[in-house]
Each structure stands twice: as C-alpha cells, then as structure tokens.
Structure 1
C-alpha cells in the first residue's frame, strides 16, 4: 500500500500527457486516422522524457519545467512538423491545457468528500479523463478547427483567453503559491483581471461582428446593384435598339412621304406621320430629372407601372446629386419602385393602383417621399417591412444600406391601404 500513492500519481501523469497530446492534435485538425504514427511517436517520446524527468528531478521540478518539456515542443511539433500556423498551434495546445482544468476540478471535488485524500483525487481525475477527452474531440474540436479559416486578428483574439489563463496559472500556482497564500489582494486581482478581460473580448467581438455585418451589407448592396444594372442595361438596350431601327428606316419613311406628296395624297402622309410619332412615344425613355442614369431608372420602372395600369405621379425638383454615387441612388429608387409596383399589382381594382414619388431638396439635403397603394397588408419587424417569400426582402435591406452609407434617416409606414417610404440623405 505504501507504493500506491506514487503509482497512482505516475498513472495520473500518464493520463494527463495522453489527454494533452490527443486534445492538442485534434484541436489542430490532425486526425488520428491519417497521422497514427505521429500520435504514437508523440506518446512514446514525450512519455519517455516525462518519466526520465520525473525520476531524476522529482515531481515538483517536472511540474515547473512542464512548459519547456511538453508544451513548447508540442507547439513546435504542430507548427514545423505538421505545417500548421503558429496561431493554430498555440490555440490548440493552450486550449488543451485549459481543458485540463475541469479534469483537475473533478478530482478535487470528489476528494472533498473524503477529507481531500490525494488518492481519491488522483483516482477521480484518472477516471474522468477519457469521458472528458471524448467531449473535447466530439464537440469542441470541430469548432476550434474552423479557426484555421479566420484571419490573424480573430486568431489573436481567440488566443488571448487561454494564453492569459496559462500565464496566470503558472505564475500563481506553479512558480509561486500566491493563489493560496496571497489573500484578498490576489483574489481581487483575479476578479478584476477576469472582468477586464471579459469586457475587452466583448468589445472586440462586437467590433469584429459589426465590421463583418457591414461587409455583408455592402456585399448585398453590390450584388443588388449589379443585378439592377443588368436589368437597366437590358431596358436601355431595348430602347436603343428601337431607336436604331427608326434611324435605319428613316430613309424609307422619307421616301414614302415623298411619294405621298408627289401623288398629292396628303391625308395618307399625315396618317403615316401620326403612326410614326405614336411609335416613337412608346420608347420608354422620358425625362423626369436632369441626371441621365436616374432618369433612365425612373423612366424604366414608371413605364412598367403604366403597363400594369398603375397611376403614377412623379415630381423631381432636386438638381444636385453630386454628393452621391449615382449607382447608389439608382439602386435605392429601383428597389423602392420595384416593391411599389409589386404591391400595386396585387390589387384587383386597377383604379385603386397608384404610386406617388417626390424627390426634392431641403436644407441642403436630398429628400425622397414615395407612397403607393397595396392589396396585401405588409408585415413589419422592428419597423422594417419583411417578407418570407423567396427572392423578396433583399431590396429593403439594400435600400437601408444605401441610406446608412450616407448617414441618412429613413422610415417605412403603412396605414389605410397606403404604404409610405421616406428618407433624407
């Protein structure tokens, strides 16, 4: 029985080593199936080194030299030998060390019922090793592995917590006993440090999340603008094609009119000219504002509205668009008009369909007011109209992105059958 404590202690160290190596390699996305030799050689080499160090210098020295004997070589093995990044290598090893804490706590907790008997503590930690390792490999590793796709900033942020814990653990429990003898000063320091670290990580996480959301909104805006541009290019091409046809046929028209005048068939000539004018009026490029791109957008969508028997009333008195990127305004108006046309088209009574658009300047700001009738009651979430239909709802997000880009304000309203969109940029 006298050798039982030493035996359990040695077994516990073996299980610690097995747990740490396995968890570190798994968290670094090094599978056992593909790297079986690496696992076995790591167990063997680190195990022999640990046993020699334990027998020659004793347990206390082993505990103090563990970072240089086990942790650092394991990081270097993953970095140089297995070609992982230094961030992934450090995160893997330090996270594995961090997960040893629950293992140690279980031993302490169980032994507390037996007057903190070290034999009970070692036995409990040995027993809990494999179940805890299973949880780490099964549920923790798949998420840590995804860090290899992140940039250095995210990896540094994630590394901050296990690295801080590692330094404090060795500073206060291994190289000194301040954690147990330092009293309120050390306890308050630990509390303050954890609170400070929590707020730092929270602030940085929120900032990175905000940047990512902004990038996603900008990407959404670009995709929507690109799709919108394709629609407008097609519309412009159609108008240009019709104009080209009339220019090409102008010689034939003039020749026909010349023959009518020569034969004194004035009435037939007048009728022919009227038909030509009617056809020219159907080319969907009307002038609503001075900017050509905006005018094309308005002309295109208002023509679509007319085709669906939607009454349109448009007033554009604003003239200065120099502060804006025209593609942004085109995207904003195109999405607003497209949504309005879609809402009006759901009304069965054509006489109840209407769109009113007013674009004007006030106090050196651009104001856009749009109102349209609707047949189906819109659904709002946080004062934003939403749609659960496939392909819908993206336009509103694109509109909001444009307004926020220019630090403007916006509002969506619906009451008594009328939907209104207002913004000031």
Structure 2
C-alpha cells in the first residue's frame, strides 16, 4: 500500500515538475495567476492519464503519455502565452531531459537496496531538489536563450529532442535498454542532462560577452569615423593652405598694383577676401584646451560646408575636469546628430547654438537646434528605426556611464533635452547638464505614465491604447511598466511620473496597499485603479484615487478618463535649477513663498518653512520669478509669490509663513500686479 502511495506521489511530482519547468524555461513569471493556470492544466492532464491508466493499463498509458501531456503542453504554451511553437517545444523537451536526473538516481537507489519504495522516495526528493536548483540558477538564463531565432533554437533544442525520441523508442515502446543493469544504462540520461545544463549556462555567458563586444565595436566604429572625419578635414585645410602659400606672390603683386594705381579700397577688399580664405585653415581658439579647439574648428568647417550655421559660446580652461577624449567624443556625437538633424530640416533657418562653460569642477554643455520631427522615446531615450542610426545616442550614454555620470532625456516646453549629471567626488564632473534642445512650432505636451500589472498581455494592450491616445492628442508619452508593487515603489523614489495605472489584484503587495505606500511616501501622483471586480471601489477612495476602471478596459472609457485627467492636471509644475553649496537642486516655483537677496547669494523660503541658500545672483532670479509666473519684486531685496499672500499694507506683505517689506515706490505697482493676478487666476 505504501509503495502505491509513493508511486502516485512520484507521478504527481514528475508531471508537475515537467509542466512548471517547461513554463519557467520560457520565462513565464512564477506569479499566482500563472501558477494556478498551470495547475489547472496539470489537473486536466492528470485526470486524462488516470482514465487512460484505468482503461488500458500502465504500459499503454505510458506509451500514450506524449499525446496526453507533452504535445498538449506545447500547444498550450504557444496558444495561451503566445510563444513560438519551436520555443515551446524546446522548453518541453528540455524539461523532459531534466527528469532524467531523478530517474537515474532512483534506479541507482533501487540497484543498491532492491527496495521499490526507496526508488520512489529518492525520485521524489531528487525531483524536488532539481526544481529548486533550476529555479534558483537556471531559469533566468533560459528566459533569454529561448527568445532566439528559429535557427539558434534548433541548435539549442537538438540534444533534448534527440534524447526524447531515443528514450521513448528504447524504453517506452521497447525494452532495448533494459536488457542489462538499468542504473548503468540510464546513466546516459543523467550525463546528458548535466551536460545540457552546463551548456545553457555557458551559452548565456557567451551571449552576454557577444553583446558587450558588439556594443564596444559600435562605439569604436563611431570613434574611428569621427577621427576619419577630423583627419579628412585637416587634409583639406592643409591643401588649402598649400595653395594659398603658392599663390601668395600673386596676391601681393595684385595688391601692390592696385595701390600704385590709386585704388586702396579695392586693395583692402582684396585683402579681406584673402583673410576669409585663410580662416578655413586656422584652428580657432574657442577655449584654452587644444583638443576642444580642434574638434570645434573641424565641426564648424563641416557645418559651414553644408550651408549650416554653428554658433559657439565656449569658456573653459586649459585643463578640463574630465578626460579630454571622453568629453570630445560626447561633443562630437552630439554635434554629428545635430548636423544630420539640420540636413533633414525643410526650414531655411538651419542653425545650432553651442554653449560650453566650466565652473571649477563642473562643465555646462548646452546644444540647441531645430528639427523636422520629434523622435520617439523608449524608456526615456530617443530612438531611431533607421538602419545605422542611434549609435551616437548610445555612445553618449555609454561614455557618461563610464565616467560615472547620469543621463536623462526629456522634453521641456518646445524642446527635447538631454541632461547628464555627476558629482565632483567621482573624479569626473561632466556636465551638470548637457542639453540638446529640439524646437518645434507647436507646444509639445509630455507625460510619464507608470503601469503596474502582473498580466503582461494586458500591460501591452493598455500601453498600445495609451500610445494611440497620446498620438491623437499630440503628446510625447513615456511608459514605465512594472509587474508588482515592490518594483513600482522602488522606481518612484528616482523616476517622476505624472500618472499611475495600478492593478488591485496582484500577488504579495496588492494595489490598494501599494497605493497606501505611495501616499505614505508623500507622493500625490494621480492613481487610476484597474480590476476585474467592483468590490474594491470603496477602498480606492481611501487613497484618493483619480479613477477606477474595470477590466477589460473599454477604449472609449479609457480615452474619456485620460481626457479628464489632462483637463485636471494639464498645467505642469515649472521648476528652477539652482546652484547650492552641496551641488544643484531643482526648486518648484509654486513652492516658493518669497526670495531674499543676501550679498551674492539668495535665500529661498519655501511654503513648508524650509529655507535654501542658493549661489545665484538676485538679478538672475528676477528673470525667472516674473509677474507672468505669479511673482513680484516688492522691494529691492525681496520677490514674493502673489498666490501665497494672505494680506498686505502699504509697508508689509504677509504670506503663509512670514512677512516681507514693500518699498514705498513699489506699493502702487505691487497693488496693481496683485489685483491683476487675482483677477486673472480666478477668471481662468
């Protein structure tokens, strides 16, 4: 009786092992929904096998096992989870091969003890241990491998497939291998399985190395192309200089003749023409750094040859706070991208404006240029679908990361901006901000949306609908998908988002608890809940949800909710980046209560009582905190936020946290500005 129970448990664990391994090899996430789905499949297949066993006996049931379990499993993974048929087949064959570990150890135990219950017990324990090891060390590698093309998957799946056919032909449909000791014969399966798992790990490592080499090769190719362009430009300049030297005698003769004939104006005009010709052969002194001068001079000539305008405003020292080569590589890529963008521009105004300045251990790099079309963004990075394009952006990101910097691409008003930041203690202080601005005639609206849902297919569908809505409403949209609440909470500490779509029913941390954690972090970002049940509607109000959508989401309903969201939150919070003693910080203008000039610094008092000392000139702050933005300079040393004023007299303005003086000469203008602002804000 005990042997029959162990035999049944062995059958159950083996079938479960095969089904779950097949799924996890493909990369199906081990979340509650998928686990339950696979268990229902196991229940159905197990029932069919029991019926087959009762009707036809163990021998025929084992022979028909592929028709009951393996082939339906391949079709289920392909149809339900949308994986290619060959990927599903290779995963099933691989899972079958892994079953041979427990098979061999069980037979080995049987050969030693001669006890059938030992055979089943060892197989059950080995199956469980093998699954744990696969889950911990192997499944992450196979997830990437099984996404390869059909040719590579054929190579990967050849060994499991051959063994699958061999095993059924020699053990299930015949007893060819069991003419002698089973433990010796079954060692072949054990050895095959170990070799295959080692092969998967090595293959994954080689794949990563190949990707790294490919990226390195692309970057080196970009560097080489940049150097070739620079060398070619030097050759052209040398040829021009040789020609000018050769013709100098003739030029002097012509000038002398014009002077002798009494035409000094013509001689002077001719001298200017010669100077213009010489300008192309000279490396201009943009800064104290020779390599920087060389790169800028070369690109200035290349811009000019193409009928483009490059305006440079550079102020750096001889020694840069980072590697000359690294900065020049980043600069070359940015200028190259700018030049290509201008060549595609239909407008006759084709210009690029470069500002490069150095402040102690920091460099400010700003590049502006108009473009014909705003590029698409993926994970916050502009991408191109054209062959050979996009390497420059990847190169910039690569070199900034190598120098311990940070990159951020964003759209600001009419512009697309690339920002790079780094701290001075890393030995590299590349651009506190590197901007590549791309101007457009219409206002570009931007939105960052996080989607947190454990259903991949639903996330893809929702992303597609949101992208369609964004295109329809002229939005630039960046989506951040997350499969669980923990990942979302971690990301929100560093990634600012404008809206969150949050599934309520998720494993571990559900949507309601995730929203509570978001609110406890002090974040007021709007949340739209997603669920297939109405029972959580009341809970959603506790966390101040913006809306509540039932699955499956109706397209028209979703678009209507997004329209309502835009009408409610369409005014973006304007910020001001200020220099402080600790580095740089971003200040939201609406959070500022008032500003006070203190010698060469400015004291910024925020509405929450916090004060910041920024190293900016007060006159610069006047250009940012303007009446158009709701601020007024009520005193030569004070700028106050008009929306924060509680009351005022002829001599004093009282805000929510303090009082500031009004100068006698500014009172009349202040009163007009205040009432004008209040009228406009209330009528708007």
Coarse TM-score class (shorter-chain normalised): 0.5 to 0.7
1:401 to 393, 398, 401: 398
Offset of residue 309 of structure 1: 4.9
Question: Which stretch of the first structure deviates more once superposed, 220-229 or 386-395?
Answer: 386-395
Aligned length: 296
Matched residue, 1:243: 241
**Map of 1:198 onto structure 2:** 138
Contact 1:378–1:414 (Cα < 8 Å) also in 2: no
Larger Rg computed on CA atoms: 1
How far residue 256 of structure 1 moved from its aligned partner, in angstroms, is 4.6
Residues 321, 361 of structure 2: 8 Å contact kept: no
Q: 1:241 Cα deviation (Å)?
A: 0.9
Task: Structure 2: state its 5+ residue gaps.
Answer: 1-44, 73-84, 111-115, 144-200, 422-429, 431-684
Q: How does 1:277-316 map to 2 (within 5 A)?
A: 277-283=275-281, 285-306=283-304, 308-310=307-309, 312-316=311-315
8 Å CA contact 1:305–1:312 kept in 2: the answer is: no
Within 1, Cα distance between the matches of 2:288 and 2:330? Answer: 17
Between the aligned partners of 1:162 and 1:362, the Cα distance in structure 2 is 64
Tell me by how many angstroms 1:260 deviates: 5.8
SS state at 1:373 partner:
coil
Q: 1:170 aligns to what? A: 104
Cα distance in 2 for partners of 1:267, 1:365 equals: 49
- With structure 2 as the length reference, what TM-score do the two structures score? 0.36
Deviation at 1:242, TM superposition (A): 0.6
TM-score by length of 1: 0.55
CA distance in 2, matches of 1:191, 1:123: 25
Please report how far the alpha carbon of residue 229 of structure 1 lies from its aligned counterpart in structure 2 after TM superposition: 2.1
Q: Check if 1:356 corresponds to 2:353.
A: yes
- CA gap of 1:410–1:421, structure 2 versus 1, over 3 A, is same
Does 2:383 match 1:386? yes
User: Which one of 112, 116, 120 corresponds to residue 180 of structure 1?
Assistant: 120
Task: Report 1:15-414 matches (<5 A).
Answer: 109=49, 112-114=52-54, 117-121=57-61, 124=64, 166-176=100-110, 178-182=118-122, 188-198=128-138, 201=141, 210-257=208-255, 269-283=267-281, 285-306=283-304, 308-310=307-309, 312-321=311-320, 323-324=322-323, 326=325, 328-351=326-349, 353-362=350-359, 364-414=361-411
Contact 2:290 2:318 in 1 (8 A): no
Structure with the larger strand share? 2
Q: Could you tell me how far apart the structure 1 residues matched to 2:377 and 2:140 are?
A: 35
> Cα deviation per residue 1:279-331 (whole Å; 9 max; x = unaligned)?
212447422234444323222323444553536242242543474262x4333
Taking the aligned partners of 2:284 and 2:52, their CA distance within structure 1 comes to 86
On the 8 A contact 1:312/1:355 being kept in 2, the answer is yes
Q: Who is 1:20 aligned against?
A: none
Does the 8 Å CA contact 1:360/1:368 hold for their aligned counterparts? yes
The answer as to whether partners of 1:344 and 1:354 remain within 8 angstroms in 2 is yes
By relative contact order (CA 8 Å, sep 6+), the higher-ranking structure is 1
Contact 1:343 1:375 in 2 (8 A): yes
Tell me the SS of whatever aligns to 1:215.
Answer: helix
- Assess, with a 3 A threshold, how the Cα gap between structure 1 residues 180 and 238 changes in structure 2: closer, same or farther: same
What residue in structure 1 maps to residue 500 of structure 2? Answer: none
Contact 2:49–2:65 (Cα < 8 Å) also in 1 = no
| Partner deviation per Cα, 1:137-183 (whole Å, 9 max, x = no partner) | x969x999xxxxxxxxxxxxxxx999976554312234436451359
What's the offset of the Cα at 1:420? Answer: 2.6
Paired residue secondary structure (1:376): coil
1:340/1:355 contact within 8 Å kept? yes
* Cα pair distance change 1:123/1:334, threshold 3 Å: closer
> Contact 1:318/1:359 (CA < 8 Å) preserved in 2?
no
Distance 1:211 1:289, change over 3 A: farther
Distance 2:59 2:275 in 1: 103
Structure 1 unpaired stretches of 5+: 1-104, 133-137, 145-159
Q: Secondary structure at the match of 2:367?
A: strand
1:29 corresponding residue in structure 2: none
What corresponds to 2:417 in structure 1?
420
Q: In structure 2, do the counterparts of structure 1 residues 365 and 173 end up closer, same or farther at CA, with 3 Å as the change threshold? A: farther
Q: For 2:377, what is the secondary structure of its paired residue? A: strand
* Contact 1:414-1:420 within 8 A present in 2 as well: yes
Q: CA distance change for structure 1 residues 196 and 241 in 2, over 3 Å: closer, same or farther?
A: same
Distance in 1, Cα, partners of 2:402 & 2:236? 32
Relative to structure 1, is the Cα distance of residues 209 and 167 closer, same or farther in structure 2, using a 3 angstrom cutoff? Answer: same
**TM-fit CA distance, 1:209:** 5.0
How far 1:346 moved relative to its partner? Answer: 4.8
Give the C-alpha shift of residue 409 in structure 1.
1.1
| Alpha-carbon separation, structure 1, partners of 2:400 and 2:362 | 12
Output the CA distance in 2 between the equivalents of 1:181 and 1:234: 75
Q: Which of the pair is proportionally richer in helix? A: 1
CA contact under 8 A between 1:373 and 1:417: conserved in structure 2?
no
